[in-house]
Structure 1
Amino acid sequence: MKRREKLYNRRQTTLFFLAAAIFVLAAVTVSGILVEERAAATDFSRTNLAPGIPYLFGTDWMGRDMFLRTLSGLSLSIRIGVLTAAVSAVTALCLGTAAAVFGSRVDAAVSWVIDLVMGIPHILLVMLISIACGRGFVGVVAGVSLSHWPSLARVVRTEVLQIKSAPYVLAAEKLGVSRLQIVRRHMIPHLFPQFLTGTILLFPHAILHEASVTFLGFGLSSEQPAIGVILSESMQYLTTGRWWLALFPGLALVFVVVLFAMLGERVRKLLDPASVHE
Protein backbone atom coordinates (compact mmCIF):
# COMPACT_ATOMS: atom_id res chain seq x y z
CA MET A 1 0.00 0.00 0.00
CA LYS A 2 2.82 2.38 0.90
CA ARG A 3 4.70 1.54 -2.32
CA ARG A 4 1.58 2.15 -4.41
CA GLU A 5 1.01 5.48 -2.64
CA LYS A 6 4.67 6.42 -3.19
CA LEU A 7 4.44 5.66 -6.91
CA TYR A 8 1.16 7.59 -7.14
CA ASN A 9 2.71 10.59 -5.42
CA ARG A 10 5.73 10.42 -7.75
CA ARG A 11 3.40 10.36 -10.73
CA GLN A 12 1.51 13.36 -9.35
CA THR A 13 4.80 15.23 -8.86
CA THR A 14 5.87 14.43 -12.42
CA LEU A 15 2.58 15.63 -13.86
CA PHE A 16 2.75 18.81 -11.81
CA PHE A 17 6.28 19.49 -13.03
CA LEU A 18 5.24 18.89 -16.64
CA ALA A 19 2.33 21.31 -16.32
CA ALA A 20 4.52 23.95 -14.63
CA ALA A 21 7.31 23.62 -17.22
CA ILE A 22 4.91 23.85 -20.16
CA PHE A 23 3.23 26.87 -18.58
CA VAL A 24 6.57 28.66 -18.05
CA LEU A 25 7.77 27.96 -21.59
CA ALA A 26 4.44 29.04 -23.08
CA ALA A 27 4.42 32.20 -20.96
CA VAL A 28 7.95 33.11 -22.06
CA THR A 29 7.07 32.48 -25.71
CA VAL A 30 3.87 34.53 -25.69
CA SER A 31 5.25 37.39 -23.58
CA GLY A 32 8.34 37.59 -25.80
CA ILE A 33 6.12 38.09 -28.84
CA LEU A 34 4.08 40.76 -27.08
CA VAL A 35 7.09 42.83 -25.97
CA GLU A 36 9.05 42.53 -29.21
CA GLU A 37 8.52 46.17 -30.21
CA ARG A 38 9.30 47.47 -26.72
CA ALA A 39 12.46 45.34 -26.63
CA ALA A 40 13.76 47.08 -29.76
CA ALA A 41 12.96 50.60 -28.50
CA THR A 42 16.04 52.76 -27.89
CA ASP A 43 16.42 55.56 -25.35
CA PHE A 44 19.85 57.20 -25.14
CA SER A 45 18.95 58.87 -21.86
CA ARG A 46 19.20 55.52 -20.05
CA THR A 47 22.26 53.89 -21.66
CA ASN A 48 24.47 51.38 -19.82
CA LEU A 49 22.41 51.26 -16.63
CA ALA A 50 23.35 48.47 -14.22
CA PRO A 51 20.72 45.93 -13.15
CA GLY A 52 18.19 47.29 -10.70
CA ILE A 53 14.75 48.84 -10.52
CA PRO A 54 13.03 49.33 -12.94
CA TYR A 55 15.50 47.62 -15.32
CA LEU A 56 16.07 44.18 -13.81
CA PHE A 57 18.70 43.14 -16.37
CA GLY A 58 20.04 46.66 -16.91
CA THR A 59 20.23 48.48 -20.25
CA ASP A 60 22.68 48.34 -23.14
CA TRP A 61 24.69 50.97 -25.06
CA MET A 62 21.52 52.03 -26.93
CA GLY A 63 19.32 52.26 -23.87
CA ARG A 64 17.37 49.10 -24.66
CA ASP A 65 15.85 47.19 -21.76
CA MET A 66 17.89 43.96 -21.49
CA PHE A 67 15.12 42.13 -19.67
CA LEU A 68 12.73 42.71 -22.56
CA ARG A 69 15.45 41.90 -25.11
CA THR A 70 16.24 38.66 -23.30
CA LEU A 71 12.56 37.73 -23.10
CA SER A 72 12.09 38.43 -26.80
CA GLY A 73 15.23 36.47 -27.68
CA LEU A 74 14.15 33.46 -25.63
CA SER A 75 10.75 33.52 -27.31
CA LEU A 76 12.39 33.44 -30.73
CA SER A 77 14.74 30.63 -29.70
CA ILE A 78 11.87 28.54 -28.32
CA ARG A 79 9.84 29.01 -31.52
CA ILE A 80 12.82 28.02 -33.65
CA GLY A 81 13.47 25.04 -31.37
CA VAL A 82 9.86 23.83 -31.63
CA LEU A 83 9.83 24.19 -35.42
CA THR A 84 13.19 22.54 -36.04
CA ALA A 85 12.57 19.74 -33.53
CA ALA A 86 9.21 18.96 -35.17
CA VAL A 87 10.76 18.83 -38.66
CA SER A 88 13.68 16.69 -37.42
CA ALA A 89 11.35 14.33 -35.55
CA VAL A 90 9.05 13.78 -38.54
CA THR A 91 12.08 13.20 -40.78
CA ALA A 92 13.50 10.69 -38.29
CA LEU A 93 10.17 8.87 -38.00
CA CYS A 94 9.72 8.55 -41.76
CA LEU A 95 13.29 7.51 -42.57
CA GLY A 96 13.69 5.23 -39.53
CA THR A 97 10.44 3.44 -40.30
CA ALA A 98 11.24 3.14 -44.00
CA ALA A 99 14.70 1.70 -43.26
CA ALA A 100 13.23 -1.05 -41.09
CA VAL A 101 10.15 -1.87 -43.20
CA PHE A 102 10.93 -1.49 -46.89
CA GLY A 103 13.73 -3.97 -47.41
CA SER A 104 17.51 -4.19 -47.17
CA ARG A 105 18.27 -1.71 -49.97
CA VAL A 106 16.27 1.08 -48.35
CA ASP A 107 17.78 0.17 -44.99
CA ALA A 108 21.31 0.34 -46.40
CA ALA A 109 20.64 3.70 -48.07
CA VAL A 110 19.10 5.27 -44.97
CA SER A 111 21.81 3.86 -42.70
CA TRP A 112 24.48 5.31 -45.02
CA VAL A 113 22.84 8.75 -44.86
CA ILE A 114 22.57 8.52 -41.06
CA ASP A 115 26.28 7.62 -40.75
CA LEU A 116 27.22 10.42 -43.14
CA VAL A 117 25.28 13.10 -41.27
CA MET A 118 26.44 11.89 -37.85
CA GLY A 119 30.05 11.82 -39.06
CA ILE A 120 30.04 15.61 -39.55
CA PRO A 121 30.17 17.81 -36.42
CA HIS A 122 26.73 19.29 -35.76
CA ILE A 123 27.84 22.90 -35.48
CA LEU A 124 29.82 22.68 -38.74
CA LEU A 125 26.95 21.04 -40.61
CA VAL A 126 24.47 23.63 -39.32
CA MET A 127 26.77 26.43 -40.45
CA LEU A 128 27.24 24.95 -43.94
CA ILE A 129 23.52 24.39 -44.47
CA SER A 130 22.68 27.83 -43.09
CA ILE A 131 25.13 29.50 -45.47
CA ALA A 132 23.84 27.44 -48.40
CA CYS A 133 20.25 28.53 -47.62
CA GLY A 134 21.12 32.21 -47.34
CA ARG A 135 21.47 32.40 -43.54
CA GLY A 136 18.73 34.25 -41.68
CA PHE A 137 15.67 32.52 -40.26
CA VAL A 138 15.29 30.09 -43.18
CA GLY A 139 18.96 29.14 -43.10
CA VAL A 140 18.99 28.45 -39.36
CA VAL A 141 15.78 26.42 -39.48
CA ALA A 142 17.05 24.37 -42.44
CA GLY A 143 20.47 23.83 -40.85
CA VAL A 144 19.20 22.70 -37.47
CA SER A 145 16.35 20.61 -38.93
CA LEU A 146 18.54 18.72 -41.40
CA SER A 147 21.29 17.93 -38.90
CA HIS A 148 19.46 16.70 -35.79
CA TRP A 149 17.32 13.80 -37.04
CA PRO A 150 19.87 10.90 -37.32
CA SER A 151 20.04 9.92 -33.64
CA LEU A 152 16.26 9.70 -33.32
CA ALA A 153 16.04 7.89 -36.68
CA ARG A 154 18.37 5.20 -35.33
CA VAL A 155 16.17 4.73 -32.28
CA VAL A 156 13.04 4.49 -34.45
CA ARG A 157 14.72 2.01 -36.80
CA THR A 158 15.80 -0.23 -33.91
CA GLU A 159 12.34 -0.20 -32.35
CA VAL A 160 10.62 -0.99 -35.67
CA LEU A 161 12.98 -3.93 -36.28
CA GLN A 162 11.94 -5.36 -32.91
CA ILE A 163 8.25 -4.81 -33.57
CA LYS A 164 8.48 -6.56 -36.97
CA SER A 165 9.08 -9.88 -35.24
CA ALA A 166 6.11 -9.51 -32.88
CA PRO A 167 3.38 -12.18 -33.29
CA TYR A 168 0.59 -9.72 -34.02
CA VAL A 169 2.64 -8.10 -36.82
CA LEU A 170 3.49 -11.47 -38.33
CA ALA A 171 -0.17 -12.45 -38.15
CA ALA A 172 -1.19 -9.23 -39.89
CA GLU A 173 1.29 -9.93 -42.68
CA LYS A 174 -0.10 -13.45 -43.12
CA LEU A 175 -3.60 -11.99 -43.41
CA GLY A 176 -2.46 -9.77 -46.27
CA VAL A 177 -2.47 -6.42 -44.45
CA SER A 178 -0.34 -3.87 -46.33
CA ARG A 179 2.91 -2.55 -44.92
CA LEU A 180 1.57 0.98 -44.60
CA GLN A 181 -1.45 -0.22 -42.63
CA ILE A 182 0.81 -2.26 -40.34
CA VAL A 183 2.97 0.80 -39.74
CA ARG A 184 -0.04 3.01 -39.05
CA ARG A 185 -2.04 0.60 -36.88
CA HIS A 186 0.61 -1.40 -35.02
CA MET A 187 4.01 0.30 -35.17
CA ILE A 188 3.39 4.01 -34.71
CA PRO A 189 1.28 3.58 -31.53
CA HIS A 190 4.06 1.43 -30.08
CA LEU A 191 6.70 3.98 -31.08
CA PHE A 192 4.84 6.98 -29.65
CA PRO A 193 6.48 7.09 -26.15
CA GLN A 194 10.03 6.92 -27.55
CA PHE A 195 9.15 9.29 -30.37
CA LEU A 196 7.63 11.90 -28.06
CA THR A 197 10.54 11.74 -25.64
CA GLY A 198 13.09 11.97 -28.44
CA THR A 199 11.26 14.94 -29.94
CA ILE A 200 11.30 16.85 -26.65
CA LEU A 201 14.98 16.07 -26.12
CA LEU A 202 15.73 17.54 -29.55
CA PHE A 203 14.62 20.98 -28.28
CA PRO A 204 17.68 21.80 -26.12
CA HIS A 205 20.09 20.70 -28.86
CA ALA A 206 18.23 22.76 -31.45
CA ILE A 207 18.14 25.86 -29.26
CA LEU A 208 21.82 25.63 -28.33
CA HIS A 209 22.97 25.11 -31.91
CA GLU A 210 20.78 27.96 -33.16
CA ALA A 211 22.29 30.27 -30.54
CA SER A 212 25.82 29.03 -31.29
CA VAL A 213 25.55 29.53 -35.04
CA THR A 214 24.00 32.97 -34.57
CA PHE A 215 26.71 33.90 -32.06
CA LEU A 216 29.38 33.01 -34.64
CA GLY A 217 27.67 35.18 -37.27
CA PHE A 218 26.29 32.43 -39.52
CA GLY A 219 22.69 32.43 -38.31
CA LEU A 220 20.04 35.02 -37.64
CA SER A 221 20.65 38.61 -38.67
CA SER A 222 21.63 41.27 -36.15
CA GLU A 223 18.22 42.95 -36.54
CA GLN A 224 16.49 39.98 -34.91
CA PRO A 225 16.37 39.87 -31.08
CA ALA A 226 17.96 36.43 -30.76
CA ILE A 227 19.99 35.32 -27.74
CA GLY A 228 22.94 34.53 -30.01
CA VAL A 229 22.85 38.09 -31.37
CA ILE A 230 22.65 39.56 -27.86
CA LEU A 231 25.62 37.49 -26.64
CA SER A 232 27.66 38.27 -29.74
CA GLU A 233 27.10 42.02 -29.40
CA SER A 234 27.84 42.02 -25.67
CA MET A 235 31.32 40.46 -26.02
CA GLN A 236 32.96 43.76 -27.00
CA TYR A 237 31.55 45.47 -23.89
CA LEU A 238 32.63 42.93 -21.26
CA THR A 239 36.07 44.50 -20.88
CA THR A 240 34.42 47.80 -19.96
CA GLY A 241 32.65 46.25 -16.97
CA ARG A 242 29.19 45.80 -18.49
CA TRP A 243 28.94 42.19 -17.36
CA TRP A 244 25.14 42.17 -17.24
CA LEU A 245 24.86 42.37 -21.03
CA ALA A 246 26.03 38.75 -21.36
CA LEU A 247 25.40 37.23 -17.93
CA PHE A 248 21.60 37.42 -17.74
CA PRO A 249 20.86 36.41 -21.37
CA GLY A 250 23.31 33.51 -21.02
CA LEU A 251 21.73 32.31 -17.78
CA ALA A 252 18.26 32.62 -19.30
CA LEU A 253 19.33 30.47 -22.26
CA VAL A 254 20.80 27.84 -19.93
CA PHE A 255 17.59 27.86 -17.87
CA VAL A 256 15.42 27.17 -20.94
CA VAL A 257 17.75 24.41 -22.19
CA VAL A 258 17.85 22.69 -18.78
CA LEU A 259 14.07 23.00 -18.46
CA PHE A 260 13.57 21.29 -21.82
CA ALA A 261 16.03 18.54 -20.86
CA MET A 262 14.25 17.93 -17.54
CA LEU A 263 10.90 17.98 -19.34
CA GLY A 264 12.05 15.25 -21.74
CA GLU A 265 13.40 13.12 -18.91
CA ARG A 266 10.15 13.39 -16.92
CA VAL A 267 8.09 12.52 -20.00
CA ARG A 268 10.30 9.46 -20.55
CA LYS A 269 9.71 8.27 -16.99
CA LEU A 270 6.00 8.95 -17.27
CA LEU A 271 5.54 6.99 -20.51
CA ASP A 272 8.08 4.19 -20.04
CA PRO A 273 6.53 1.22 -18.21
CA ALA A 274 9.95 0.04 -17.03
CA SER A 275 10.51 3.29 -15.13
CA VAL A 276 7.63 2.49 -12.78
CA HIS A 277 10.02 0.29 -10.76
CA GLU A 278 12.76 2.95 -10.56
Structure 2
Amino acid sequence: MKHVISGNRARYPRFHAGHKLGLTSLAAFLVLLTIFAMSVWMDASGLSTNLAQRNFAPSAAHPFGTDWLGRDMLTRTIKGLALSLGVGVVAGASSVIIAGIMGLSAAVMGKTVNRLVSWLTDLFLSVPHLVTLLLIAFVLGGGAKGIIIGVALTHWPSLTRVIRAEVMQIRSASYVSISRNFGKSSWWIATRHIIPHLLPQLLVGLILIVPHAILHEAAVTFIGMGLSPHEPAIGIILSESMRYLSSGMWWLALFPGLCLLLLVRAFAMLGENLKMWVDPRRAHEH
Protein backbone atom coordinates (compact mmCIF):
# COMPACT_ATOMS: atom_id res chain seq x y z
CA MET A 1 0.00 0.00 0.00
CA LYS A 2 2.84 2.38 0.83
CA HIS A 3 4.40 1.74 -2.59
CA VAL A 4 1.07 2.46 -4.29
CA ILE A 5 0.71 5.82 -2.48
CA SER A 6 4.31 6.72 -3.27
CA GLY A 7 3.76 5.77 -6.88
CA ASN A 8 0.66 7.95 -7.12
CA ARG A 9 2.54 10.90 -5.67
CA ALA A 10 5.35 10.35 -8.15
CA ARG A 11 2.91 10.10 -11.07
CA TYR A 12 0.88 13.18 -10.10
CA PRO A 13 3.33 15.66 -8.54
CA ARG A 14 1.81 18.64 -10.26
CA PHE A 15 -1.66 17.68 -9.02
CA HIS A 16 -0.51 17.74 -5.39
CA ALA A 17 1.42 20.99 -5.94
CA GLY A 18 -1.57 22.60 -7.67
CA HIS A 19 -3.91 21.43 -4.91
CA LYS A 20 -1.63 22.95 -2.27
CA LEU A 21 -1.30 26.22 -4.20
CA GLY A 22 -5.07 26.38 -4.58
CA LEU A 23 -5.70 25.90 -0.87
CA THR A 24 -3.14 28.51 0.21
CA SER A 25 -4.44 30.99 -2.36
CA LEU A 26 -8.01 30.42 -1.18
CA ALA A 27 -6.97 30.92 2.45
CA ALA A 28 -5.11 34.14 1.60
CA PHE A 29 -8.07 35.43 -0.43
CA LEU A 30 -10.48 34.66 2.42
CA VAL A 31 -8.29 36.60 4.87
CA LEU A 32 -8.29 39.64 2.59
CA LEU A 33 -12.04 39.34 1.94
CA THR A 34 -12.74 39.06 5.69
CA ILE A 35 -10.74 42.19 6.49
CA PHE A 36 -12.49 44.14 3.73
CA ALA A 37 -15.97 42.92 4.75
CA MET A 38 -15.38 43.71 8.42
CA SER A 39 -14.14 47.21 7.59
CA VAL A 40 -17.34 47.90 5.63
CA TRP A 41 -19.67 46.24 8.15
CA MET A 42 -18.20 47.70 11.35
CA ASP A 43 -19.80 50.76 12.87
CA ALA A 44 -17.44 53.74 13.19
CA SER A 45 -18.79 54.51 16.66
CA GLY A 46 -15.95 52.43 18.11
CA LEU A 47 -13.56 55.17 16.98
CA SER A 48 -15.24 57.73 19.25
CA THR A 49 -13.85 58.67 22.66
CA ASN A 50 -15.56 57.01 25.64
CA LEU A 51 -13.70 57.69 28.88
CA ALA A 52 -16.03 55.39 30.84
CA GLN A 53 -14.47 52.31 29.19
CA ARG A 54 -10.84 53.33 28.78
CA ASN A 55 -7.93 50.90 29.30
CA PHE A 56 -10.15 47.80 29.25
CA ALA A 57 -8.31 44.52 28.72
CA PRO A 58 -9.49 42.16 25.95
CA SER A 59 -12.91 40.70 26.71
CA ALA A 60 -16.02 39.39 24.97
CA ALA A 61 -17.37 42.94 24.58
CA HIS A 62 -14.02 44.27 23.33
CA PRO A 63 -11.95 41.38 21.85
CA PHE A 64 -8.93 43.65 21.29
CA GLY A 65 -9.51 45.76 24.41
CA THR A 66 -9.81 49.55 24.52
CA ASP A 67 -7.20 52.30 24.56
CA TRP A 68 -6.54 55.24 26.91
CA LEU A 69 -9.44 57.18 25.37
CA GLY A 70 -11.93 54.31 25.51
CA ARG A 71 -11.83 53.62 21.79
CA ASP A 72 -12.47 50.03 20.70
CA MET A 73 -9.17 48.57 19.46
CA LEU A 74 -10.83 45.98 17.21
CA THR A 75 -12.63 48.74 15.30
CA ARG A 76 -9.46 50.88 15.13
CA THR A 77 -7.42 47.91 13.91
CA ILE A 78 -9.84 46.85 11.17
CA LYS A 79 -10.38 50.42 9.97
CA GLY A 80 -6.60 50.94 10.03
CA LEU A 81 -6.01 47.80 7.98
CA ALA A 82 -8.59 48.93 5.44
CA LEU A 83 -6.90 52.34 5.21
CA SER A 84 -3.47 50.74 4.78
CA LEU A 85 -4.90 48.34 2.20
CA GLY A 86 -6.38 51.20 0.19
CA VAL A 87 -3.14 53.18 0.24
CA GLY A 88 -1.16 50.05 -0.66
CA VAL A 89 -3.37 49.15 -3.62
CA VAL A 90 -3.34 52.69 -5.08
CA ALA A 91 0.42 53.02 -4.57
CA GLY A 92 1.06 49.54 -5.98
CA ALA A 93 -1.12 50.20 -9.03
CA SER A 94 0.72 53.47 -9.69
CA SER A 95 4.05 51.68 -9.41
CA VAL A 96 2.91 48.94 -11.81
CA ILE A 97 1.82 51.53 -14.37
CA ILE A 98 5.23 53.21 -14.18
CA ALA A 99 6.97 49.84 -14.50
CA GLY A 100 4.85 48.90 -17.52
CA ILE A 101 5.58 52.17 -19.31
CA MET A 102 9.30 51.99 -18.50
CA GLY A 103 9.62 48.35 -19.54
CA LEU A 104 7.77 48.85 -22.81
CA SER A 105 9.76 51.99 -23.62
CA ALA A 106 13.09 50.29 -22.95
CA ALA A 107 12.20 47.35 -25.17
CA VAL A 108 10.65 49.11 -28.19
CA MET A 109 12.01 52.69 -28.36
CA GLY A 110 15.63 52.08 -29.26
CA LYS A 111 19.02 51.81 -27.60
CA THR A 112 19.09 55.35 -26.19
CA VAL A 113 15.84 54.93 -24.26
CA ASN A 114 16.94 51.43 -23.22
CA ARG A 115 20.18 52.77 -21.76
CA LEU A 116 18.34 55.61 -20.00
CA VAL A 117 15.79 53.26 -18.42
CA SER A 118 18.55 50.85 -17.39
CA TRP A 119 20.48 53.70 -15.77
CA LEU A 120 17.41 54.90 -13.87
CA THR A 121 16.61 51.36 -12.76
CA ASP A 122 20.14 50.81 -11.43
CA LEU A 123 20.06 54.21 -9.73
CA PHE A 124 16.85 53.51 -7.82
CA LEU A 125 17.92 49.96 -6.95
CA SER A 126 21.21 51.23 -5.50
CA VAL A 127 19.37 53.13 -2.74
CA PRO A 128 17.19 51.34 -0.13
CA HIS A 129 13.47 51.79 -0.76
CA LEU A 130 12.72 53.14 2.68
CA VAL A 131 15.38 55.86 2.49
CA THR A 132 14.10 57.16 -0.84
CA LEU A 133 10.51 56.86 0.36
CA LEU A 134 11.27 58.92 3.47
CA LEU A 135 12.91 61.65 1.38
CA ILE A 136 9.99 61.82 -1.05
CA ALA A 137 7.39 61.80 1.74
CA PHE A 138 9.29 64.56 3.56
CA VAL A 139 9.50 66.74 0.44
CA LEU A 140 5.78 66.27 -0.28
CA GLY A 141 4.76 67.00 3.31
CA GLY A 142 3.70 63.48 4.27
CA GLY A 143 0.09 62.34 4.21
CA ALA A 144 -1.49 59.77 1.92
CA LYS A 145 -0.34 61.69 -1.17
CA GLY A 146 3.29 61.60 -0.08
CA ILE A 147 3.13 57.88 0.75
CA ILE A 148 1.45 56.93 -2.53
CA ILE A 149 3.83 58.96 -4.68
CA GLY A 150 6.82 57.77 -2.67
CA VAL A 151 5.90 54.09 -3.03
CA ALA A 152 5.05 54.52 -6.72
CA LEU A 153 8.44 56.11 -7.43
CA THR A 154 10.49 53.55 -5.47
CA HIS A 155 8.93 50.16 -6.28
CA TRP A 156 8.94 50.10 -10.08
CA PRO A 157 12.57 49.13 -10.95
CA SER A 158 12.44 45.36 -10.28
CA LEU A 159 9.17 44.92 -12.18
CA THR A 160 10.52 47.09 -15.02
CA ARG A 161 13.32 44.59 -15.58
CA VAL A 162 10.83 41.74 -15.76
CA ILE A 163 8.57 43.60 -18.20
CA ARG A 164 11.49 44.63 -20.41
CA ALA A 165 12.78 41.04 -20.65
CA GLU A 166 9.26 39.77 -21.39
CA VAL A 167 8.72 42.31 -24.18
CA MET A 168 12.10 41.50 -25.74
CA GLN A 169 11.19 37.81 -25.78
CA ILE A 170 7.75 38.45 -27.30
CA ARG A 171 9.21 40.69 -30.02
CA SER A 172 11.43 37.84 -31.21
CA ALA A 173 8.56 35.33 -31.34
CA SER A 174 7.59 33.85 -34.69
CA TYR A 175 3.96 35.02 -34.60
CA VAL A 176 5.11 38.63 -34.11
CA SER A 177 7.42 38.30 -37.12
CA ILE A 178 4.56 36.90 -39.18
CA SER A 179 2.31 39.81 -38.20
CA ARG A 180 5.05 42.26 -39.10
CA ASN A 181 5.55 40.59 -42.52
CA PHE A 182 1.83 40.93 -43.17
CA GLY A 183 2.18 44.68 -42.72
CA LYS A 184 0.65 45.05 -39.30
CA SER A 185 1.51 48.30 -37.53
CA SER A 186 3.54 48.53 -34.33
CA TRP A 187 0.41 49.66 -32.47
CA TRP A 188 -1.52 46.62 -33.74
CA ILE A 189 1.28 44.27 -32.65
CA ALA A 190 1.52 45.97 -29.24
CA THR A 191 -2.22 45.77 -28.52
CA ARG A 192 -2.75 42.26 -29.95
CA HIS A 193 0.45 40.46 -29.00
CA ILE A 194 2.54 42.29 -26.42
CA ILE A 195 0.14 43.88 -23.91
CA PRO A 196 -2.12 40.79 -23.48
CA HIS A 197 0.96 38.73 -22.61
CA LEU A 198 2.06 41.33 -20.07
CA LEU A 199 -1.22 41.49 -18.13
CA PRO A 200 -0.52 38.38 -15.96
CA GLN A 201 2.95 39.72 -15.12
CA LEU A 202 1.51 43.11 -14.21
CA LEU A 203 -1.17 41.50 -12.02
CA VAL A 204 1.40 39.40 -10.16
CA GLY A 205 3.63 42.45 -9.83
CA LEU A 206 0.76 44.43 -8.31
CA ILE A 207 -0.06 41.76 -5.74
CA LEU A 208 3.60 41.42 -4.77
CA ILE A 209 4.13 45.19 -4.49
CA VAL A 210 1.07 45.82 -2.30
CA PRO A 211 2.46 44.14 0.87
CA HIS A 212 5.71 46.13 0.50
CA ALA A 213 3.66 49.30 0.12
CA ILE A 214 1.58 48.48 3.23
CA LEU A 215 4.66 47.80 5.35
CA HIS A 216 6.45 50.91 4.14
CA GLU A 217 3.34 53.03 4.75
CA ALA A 218 3.12 51.68 8.31
CA ALA A 219 6.84 52.29 8.89
CA VAL A 220 6.78 55.87 7.61
CA THR A 221 3.57 56.61 9.53
CA PHE A 222 5.07 55.04 12.66
CA ILE A 223 7.88 57.63 12.71
CA GLY A 224 5.44 60.49 12.10
CA MET A 225 6.04 61.26 8.41
CA GLY A 226 3.09 59.41 6.91
CA LEU A 227 -0.65 59.56 7.42
CA SER A 228 -2.33 62.06 9.72
CA PRO A 229 -2.46 61.21 13.47
CA HIS A 230 -6.23 61.75 13.32
CA GLU A 231 -6.67 58.74 11.03
CA PRO A 232 -6.86 55.16 12.42
CA ALA A 233 -3.76 53.98 10.55
CA ILE A 234 -1.85 50.93 11.82
CA GLY A 235 1.39 52.89 11.97
CA ILE A 236 -0.23 55.53 14.16
CA ILE A 237 -1.81 52.88 16.43
CA LEU A 238 1.53 51.14 16.92
CA SER A 239 3.36 54.44 17.47
CA GLU A 240 0.88 55.60 20.12
CA SER A 241 0.85 52.24 21.88
CA MET A 242 4.61 52.39 22.56
CA ARG A 243 3.96 54.93 25.34
CA TYR A 244 1.62 52.57 27.20
CA LEU A 245 3.43 49.23 26.96
CA SER A 246 5.32 49.90 30.20
CA SER A 247 1.93 50.32 31.92
CA GLY A 248 0.99 46.74 31.04
CA MET A 249 -1.37 47.60 28.17
CA TRP A 250 0.15 44.98 25.89
CA TRP A 251 -2.98 44.54 23.76
CA LEU A 252 -2.59 48.00 22.20
CA ALA A 253 0.39 46.84 20.12
CA LEU A 254 0.01 43.04 19.99
CA PHE A 255 -3.27 42.68 18.11
CA PRO A 256 -2.73 45.49 15.53
CA GLY A 257 0.79 44.19 14.88
CA LEU A 258 -0.41 40.61 14.38
CA CYS A 259 -3.23 41.73 12.08
CA LEU A 260 -0.80 43.79 10.01
CA LEU A 261 1.48 40.74 9.72
CA LEU A 262 -1.50 38.57 8.71
CA LEU A 263 -2.57 41.04 6.02
CA VAL A 264 0.91 41.33 4.54
CA ARG A 265 1.47 37.57 4.68
CA ALA A 266 -1.85 36.89 2.93
CA PHE A 267 -0.91 39.21 0.06
CA ALA A 268 2.57 37.70 -0.18
CA MET A 269 1.19 34.14 -0.32
CA LEU A 270 -1.36 35.08 -2.95
CA GLY A 271 1.31 36.81 -5.07
CA GLU A 272 3.79 33.94 -4.84
CA ASN A 273 1.14 31.39 -5.80
CA LEU A 274 -0.01 33.45 -8.77
CA LYS A 275 3.63 33.82 -9.81
CA MET A 276 4.02 30.04 -9.91
CA TRP A 277 0.89 29.66 -12.01
CA VAL A 278 1.86 32.42 -14.44
CA ASP A 279 5.53 31.46 -14.89
CA PRO A 280 5.68 28.20 -16.93
CA ARG A 281 9.27 27.54 -15.84
CA ARG A 282 8.19 27.46 -12.18
CA ALA A 283 5.17 25.36 -13.05
CA HIS A 284 7.37 22.60 -14.50
CA GLU A 285 9.34 22.49 -11.23
CA HIS A 286 6.31 21.31 -9.24
TM-score with structure 1 length normalisation? 0.92
SS of the residue 1:146 aligns to: helix
Aligned residue runs from structure 1 range 56-205, under 5 A? 56-205=63-212
Give % identity: 46
Find the partner of 1:7 among 11, 14, 18: 14
Which deviates more from structure 2 when the two are superposed, residues 268-277 or residues 89-98?
Answer: 268-277
Native 8 Å contact 1:204 1:260 kept in 2 = yes
Write the distance in 2 (CA, Å) between the matches of 1:232 and 1:83.
Answer: 24
| 2:273 aligned partner | 266
In 2: Cα distance, 1:15 partner to 1:272 partner: 16
Contact residue 231 and residue 246 of structure 1 kept, 8 A: yes
Is the Cα–Cα contact under 8 Å of residues 80 and 207 in structure 1 kept in the other structure?
Answer: yes
Output the CA distance in 2 between the equivalents of 1:39 and 1:22: 26
CA contact (8 A) 1:269 1:276 kept: no
Q: CA deviation at 1:273?
A: 2.5
**Alignment partner for residue 56 of structure 2, among 25, 49, 54?**
49
| One-letter amino acid matched to 1:154 | R
In the alignment, the residues of structure 2 paired with residue 221 and residue 236 of structure 1 have an alpha-carbon distance, to the nearest angstrom, of 18
Q: In structure 1, what residue type is equivalent to 2:227? A: L
What is the aligned partner in structure 1 of residue 260 from structure 2?
253
8 Å Cα contact 1:101/1:179 also seen in 2: no
Task: State the match for 1:209 in structure 2.
Answer: 216
Identify which range, 230-239 or 181-190, moves more after superposition.
Answer: 181-190
Deviation at 1:245, TM superposition (A): 0.7
Answering whether residue 227 of structure 2 is matched by residue 220 of structure 1, we say: yes
Q: In structure 1, how many angstroms separate the alpha carbons of the residues matched to 2:46 and 2:191?
A: 46
Gaps of 5+ in 2: 1-6
CA distance in 2, matches of 1:4, 1:195: 33
1:77, 1:226 within 8 Å by CA — same for their partners in 2?
Answer: yes
Q: Does 1:25 align with 2:19?
A: no
* Deviation of the 1:77 alpha carbon: 0.9
Maintained 8 Å contact 1:39/1:72: no
Which amino acid is 2:208 matched to?
A: L
**Alpha-carbon displacement from aligned partner over 1:168-198 (angstroms, at most 9, x marks no partner):** 2233333332223222211222233332222
In structure 1, what residue type is equivalent to 2:163?
V
Show structure 1 runs of 5+ residues with no match. Answer: none
Q: How far did 1:16 drift?
A: 4.3
- How many residues end up aligned between the 2 structures? 278
| Distance of 1:65 and 1:200 partners within structure 2 | 30
Partner Cα distance (2:102, 2:272) in 1: 24
Q: CA deviation at 1:266?
A: 1.1
**CA RMSD across the alignment:** 2.0
For residues 238-273 of structure 1, give each alpha carbon's deviation from its aligned partner in whole angstroms, at most 9, with x where no partner exists. 111111111111111111111111101111222233
Q: Give the TM-score normalised by structure 2.
A: 0.90
Query: 1:42·1:63 contact (CA, 8 Å) conserved in 2?
Result: yes
**Over residues 30-59 of structure 1, what are the superposed CA-to-partner deviations in whole Å (9 max), with x where a residue is unaligned?**
422443622311111111111222211111
Contact 1:136 1:221 in 2 (8 A): yes
List structure 1 segments (4+ residues) > 6 angstroms apart after TM superposition.
none
